[in-house]
A and B are shown apart, each in its own frame.
Chain A
Amino acid sequence: MRAQPNGSQLNFRTPSRTAAPAPDLKMAVHGPVVKIHPVVLASIADSYERRNEGASRVIGTLLGTVDKHSVEVTNCFSVPHNESEDEVAVDMEFAKNMYELHKKVSPTEVIIGWYATGFDITEHSVLIHEYYSREAVNPIHLTVDTALQSNKMNIRAYISAQMGVPGKTVGVMFTPLTVKYIYYDTERIGVGLLQRTRDAPNRAKGLTSDLCQVGGAATRVQDMLTTVLAYIEEVLSGKVQADNSVGRFLTDLVSKVPKISAEDFESMLNSNINDLLMVTYLANLTQAQIALNEKLVIL
């Protein structure tokens, strides 16, 4: 345990944090589960990129909703602050103002904590955390490692706990919490597009149009099928141990394709295709009609 005495406050850091290989899932014990929406992380990354010259990290407020066992983080905004070796100044007026403005748009969001970019929890964090304890009940603290210290962007959440010997000076300990990512359906699709953008050259991607999208989705399914087939080949040739659960999933998959007799399927397919063709025809007709109308009026 490493202790850094600083006046009347101590902050401790559990050693397991730096040693564990899969830290997020193994450590969290007490306290609520933190569910983060990707919009929060994207905003944090953006505000880090826009930070003032000389500032090494950015802090801001987290907004969201609190549940019995979980805290859902849905929004955030950055707060200007100055940090030097021995003091830290946070613009609290600004934080209050922004919160008021945000409340007008989404009245259900409350301050649930704060975030900071950077790997460590410094002494200043304790002070900032104290301020936020005044705003919210049991605030959580989120760190996003934008400096990529361990070659990964570590996203962790902490909650503060009192510790120490009763009667003597009380210290504050930040205990880690489980972090989960949750998405709305539409958010997931947005994130999917962003994932694909990351693979594109130039890091830029336009939005594709109708049939291309279906083609893209089909290719993705095809890729997945190829992977599964490769696995099956390997199991059959004895290279890989057969896994029962995977086998069960495979049977599920194959049985999901419905067995319909050829004529029934033909008729279903044809009626659907006819519906769609008719609608296309009507749409084209309507468009021709209004175009004609336009021309006649202009005459």
Chain B
Amino acid sequence: RDVAKRARMSSAASSATRAGSLNGRPGRSCIPIGPHVVLKMIKHYQEEGQGTEVVQGVLLGLVVEDRLEITNCFPFPQHTEDDADFDEVQYQMEMMRSLRHVNIDHLHVGWYQSTYYGSFVSRALLDSQFSYQHAIEESVVLIYDPIKTAQGSLSLKAYRLTPKLMEICKEKDFSAEGLKKAMIGFEHMFEEVPIVIKNSHLINVLMWELEEKSTVADKHELLNLSSSNHLEKSLQLLMDRVDDMSQDIVKYNTYSRNLSKQQQQKHQYTQRRQQENAQRQTRGEPPLPEEDISKMFKPPQPPPRMDTLLIAGQINNYCQNVKEFTSQNLGKLFLAEALQGHNS
């Protein structure tokens, strides 16, 4: 039993380091997170954000050489209609100033957001993360999935924009040519950074104390067999996104068809012009002036590619989540079978 535990832990550790080195940058390995940060995020969602609302907050920590460490966080209040004069920046400034008095690291290293069934790839997220990363290169956005956590295991992922995407955002060049130049696919938009929960010794003592005193029984939601509800919702969201995607594709197709039609028209026009000019020359008349073709045929507006990229990224994310979920459930079903086989 202990051997299995140790093997599992070493495999988890080695997979974490392997994932870290996949990024290609030796310094960007795991991000340690203090345990009270995790608990605070959980509590914030639990109390303030029910339903499809998203709760957000700021992460504080330090940058140690190349690595990031997250040591504290504080929540952001919800946006309400009647809080028009609420100054977010001021709230943040005040909070950080106060936290400095109690020796809490006040370096803004990122932000966190809760998500609904994994739908977080959006323009807003991209913009916010870009502004954070512009200021501090190592900042991350922590995505906390409360629904997946409620199903049995803490779902916390840290993402960062790839350098390629940062370049593009800096140029603000979202056209098709720009993206083609940078060779960005939806897989290269965000990179996941593995996170590690680091307990201090005092917290360890606290954990022992809680285990002794706490009378709450373990509920084992992870081994729950019912899956259809969750699967249904995920697939519903996936279908919506795929619909969006297909609309986008239709738009792009119409655009390219228009473009080629226009090219043809331009070509025909220049040919006709040349023919007329040749005829006029034979008749000895002055040739018609060369008109600016591009002004006559205004090129159609190319549809922005950024949205397509985001939708593709989101679809990819949904598919990943669904696959993870189904693989877990398959495992559980086989467990149930083993249990039945034992009895019957």
CA distance in complex: A277, B326 (Å): 8
Q: Are B98 and A183 in contact (CB under 8 A)?
A: no
Q: Which residues on the A side are within 8 Å of B242 (C-beta)?
A: 286
The interface stretch among B118-126, B128-136, B165-173, B330-338 is B330-338
Q: Which residues on the A side are within 8 Å of B344 (C-beta)?
A: 259-262, 265
| B250 located at the interface, meaning its Cβ lies under 8 Å from any Cβ of chain A in the complex | no
The interface stretch among A1-9, A93-101, A168-176, A229-237 is A93-101
Q: Are B77 and A198 in contact (CB under 8 A)?
A: no
Q: Are A197 and B146 in contact (CB under 8 A)?
A: no
Secondary structure dominating the interface of A: helix
| B89 located at the interface, meaning its Cβ lies under 8 Å from any Cβ of chain A in the complex | no
Q: Are A101 and B195 in contact (CB under 8 A)?
A: no
Q: Are B330 and A291 in contact (CB under 8 A)?
A: no
Q: Which residues on the B side are within 8 Å of A201 (C-beta)?
A: 9
A257-282 Cβ-contact flags toward B at 8 Å (1 or 0):
10111100100010011011101100
CA distance in complex: A217, B153 (Å): 10
Q: Are A193 and B154 in contact (CB under 8 A)?
A: yes
Q: Are A189 and B153 in contact (CB under 8 A)?
A: yes
**Closest-CB distance, B254 to chain A (whole angstroms):** 15
Q: Are A42 and B154 in contact (CB under 8 A)?
A: no
**Closest-CB distance, B22 to chain A (whole angstroms):** 14
Size of the chain B interface, CB-CB below 8 angstroms: 116
| A38 located at the interface, meaning its Cβ lies under 8 Å from any Cβ of chain B in the complex | yes
Q: Are B238 and A286 in contact (CB under 8 A)?
A: yes
**Contact A214/B332 with A46-B72, A259-B343 known, Cβ cut-off 8 Å:** yes
**Contact A273/B9 with A153-B206, A198-B207 known, Cβ cut-off 8 Å:** no
Q: Which residues on the A side are within 8 Å of B149 (C-beta)?
A: 186, 189-190
**Closest-CB distance, B32 to chain A (whole angstroms):** 6
CA distance in complex: A275, B238 (Å): 16
**Contact A206/B202 with A74-B47, A213-B153, A218-B335 known, Cβ cut-off 8 Å:** no
| B48 located at the interface, meaning its Cβ lies under 8 Å from any Cβ of chain A in the complex | yes
Q: Which residues on the B side are within 8 Å of A50 (C-beta)?
A: 102-104
| A253 located at the interface, meaning its Cβ lies under 8 Å from any Cβ of chain B in the complex | no
Q: Which residues on the A side are within 8 Å of B227 (C-beta)?
A: 272, 276
**Contact A101/B94 with A49-B200, A189-B149, A195-B207 known, Cβ cut-off 8 Å:** yes
**Nearest-neighbor residue (CB-CB) of B312 within chain A:** A290
Q: Which residues on the B side are within 8 Å of A260 (C-beta)?
A: 340, 344
**Closest-CB distance, B21 to chain A (whole angstroms):** 14
| A184 located at the interface, meaning its Cβ lies under 8 Å from any Cβ of chain B in the complex | yes
Q: Which residues on the B side are within 8 Å of A46 (C-beta)?
A: 34, 36, 71-72, 200, 203
Q: Are A146 and B185 in contact (CB under 8 A)?
A: no
Q: Are A276 and B330 in contact (CB under 8 A)?
A: yes
**Nearest-neighbor residue (CB-CB) of A285 within chain B:** B319
| A212 located at the interface, meaning its Cβ lies under 8 Å from any Cβ of chain B in the complex | yes
| B257 located at the interface, meaning its Cβ lies under 8 Å from any Cβ of chain A in the complex | no
CA distance in complex: A175, B206 (Å): 24
**Nearest-neighbor residue (CB-CB) of B71 within chain A:** A46
Q: Are A187 and B200 in contact (CB under 8 A)?
A: no
| B237 located at the interface, meaning its Cβ lies under 8 Å from any Cβ of chain A in the complex | no
Give chain A's interface residue range (CB within 8 Å of chain B): 35 or more
Other-chain residue from A108, A203, A207, A208 in contact with B200 (beta carbon distance below 8 A): A203
Q: Are B197 and A197 in contact (CB under 8 A)?
A: yes
Q: Are B36 and A155 in contact (CB under 8 A)?
A: no
Other-chain residue from B9, B102, B328 in contact with A78 (beta carbon distance below 8 A): B102
| A17 located at the interface, meaning its Cβ lies under 8 Å from any Cβ of chain B in the complex | no
Other-chain residue from A74, A194, A206, A213 in contact with B207 (beta carbon distance below 8 A): A194
B316-342 Cβ-contact flags toward A at 8 Å (1 or 0):
101100111111111111011101100
Q: Are B210 and A94 in contact (CB under 8 A)?
A: no
**Nearest-neighbor residue (CB-CB) of B336 within chain A:** A269
**Contact A294/B186 with A50-B104, A94-B98, A276-B329 known, Cβ cut-off 8 Å:** yes
Q: Which residues on the A side are within 8 Å of B201 (C-beta)?
A: 203
**Closest-CB distance, A119 to chain B (whole angstroms):** 14
The interface stretch among B214-222, B264-272, B274-282, B290-298 is B214-222
A213-229 Cβ-contact flags toward B at 8 Å (1 or 0):
11111110101000000
Q: Which residues on the B side are within 8 Å of A38 (C-beta)?
A: 39, 210
B219-263 Cβ-contact flags toward A at 8 Å (1 or 0):
111110001100100010010001001000100100000000000
A-B contact pairs, 9 of them (CB 8 A): A46-B36, A101-B94, A101-B98, A189-B154, A191-B210, A195-B210, A195-B211, A217-B223, A265-B340
Chain B residues engaging chain A, CB cutoff 8 angstroms: 1, 4-5, 8-9, 12-13, 15-16, 30, 32, 34-36, 38-40, 42-48, 71-72, 75-77, 86, 91, 94-95, 98, 101-104, 146, 149-150, 152-156, 176, 179-180, 183, 185-187, 194-211, 213-216, 218-223, 227-228, 231, 235, 238, 242, 245, 249, 252, 305, 308, 312, 315-316, 318-319, 322-333, 335-337, 339-340, 343-344
Known contacts A39-B40, A77-B102, A209-B324; 6 additional CB pairs below 8 A are A75-B43, A186-B149, A197-B35, A214-B328, A283-B326, A297-B180
